[in-house]
Structure 1
């Protein structure tokens, strides 16, 4: 009888211990679900960080693009009739200039480059009211020669008709020209030194009513 009681007691004790063990340890499915939840949370955090990084890059790119646009385009001001233009290798700043028909303007061009540059428009309809003294225009030479300062002068001193829209400058020089646009439209201008226009040294006058 005592043996039977002891056997039953042992069975009960083992059953209790087994129940405690199974209750304290998570099942395989519970562990799997917990791991999946953690991975999902981690993925969401990473995705959110990636979105923030992309938005930051997009904002920086937009700001840079707007800054470049502002630099290259003249902001039209009806009261400001003095337009400062920088010529360099190879372009103008600004390269798009808006004017009003009938207004008198002064274009001030500074050569901030290392070679001879000019600004010429054969299409622009304007009356020239003043043209300052300008450097002699070099004869046709290659762009490489221009960069290294190999510049020969025309026999006629590089003179241009006073009514032609043409400004030419040596490195570091500033020249001035006053004019009155007479017709609306878009008119191209460029540097006539061989190779400069082809390298991107060009722009546009836009004349409005």
Structure 2
């Protein structure tokens, strides 16, 4: 596994910026918590096997580009079931950097962890950047059903066809 990065807040901020950001994060956390509560019954109903962490993860491999440097996700269509645990192996075999971006999808899942290199990341993730040759493992449980757009937002990549969709259903 090679280079991997996640966009975070910049480190140097003023006190006013930090206070404003803290207030915003508290408001957003409350809103997301209330929103999350509405997804939980749906996920629990879909998961009849009990503890999600003991449930074996269904593994799916997604390539971001390929060795011919074609701008596409392989596969570009994912069908998932709410309340089921998944392990998506993301691989970038191309010579270009790519993003796996599905913000609305990421808002409706619970991320258990992401492993990349010798780093394990926990918490909400909205976008993953994979540099050439990089790999990452994303373990999560979809909580909200729906149809979600997947894309690589690097200029020219979406337009060249580096798009896909993720469908989360109850069965």
Short-chain TM bin: 0.5 to 0.7
1:108 alignment partner in structure 2: 89
Q: Does 1:123 align with 2:122?
A: no
1:132 alignment partner in structure 2: 115
Structure with bigger RCO (C-alpha 8 Å, 6+ apart): 2
Q: Does 1:85 align with 2:62?
A: yes
Task: Select the structure of larger CA radius of gyration.
Answer: 1
CA distances 1:121-165 after superposition (whole Å, capped 9, x unpaired): 11111111101237xxxxxxxxxxxxxxxxxxxxxxxxx994123
- Residue 172 of structure 1 is aligned with which of 119, 122, 133? 133
- Residue 97 of structure 1 is aligned with which of 71, 78, 100? 78
Query: Which has more strand, going by share of residues?
Result: 2
Q: Unmatched 5+ residue regions in structure 2?
A: 1-55
Could you tell me how far apart the structure 1 residues matched to 2:143 and 2:126 are? 13
Query: Which has more helix, going by share of residues?
Result: 1
**1:208 CA drift (Å):** 1.1
Could you tell me how far apart the structure 2 residues matched to 1:132 and 1:99 are? 21
CA distances 1:23-42 after superposition (whole Å, capped 9, x unpaired): xxxxxxxxxxxxxxxxxxxx
Q: Unmatched 5+ residue regions in structure 1?
A: 1-78, 135-159
SS of 1:123's equivalent in the other structure is helix
Q: 1:106 to 1:165 in 2, by over 3 A?
A: farther
Tell me how many residue pairs correspond in the alignment. 106
CA contact (8 A) 1:167 1:177 kept: no
SS of 2:101's equivalent in the other structure is strand
Q: TM-score w.r.t. structure 2 length?
A: 0.57
Could you tell me how far apart the structure 1 residues matched to 2:122 and 2:97 are? 19
Residue correspondence of structure 1 range 1-209 to structure 2 within 5 A: 81-88=58-65, 89-124=70-105, 125-133=108-116, 162-209=123-170
**What is the Cα-based RMSD across aligned positions, in Å?**
2.1
**1:199 CA drift (Å):** 1.2
Q: TM-score w.r.t. structure 1 length?
A: 0.47
CA contact (8 A) 1:168 1:175 kept: no
**1:195 CA drift (Å):** 1.6
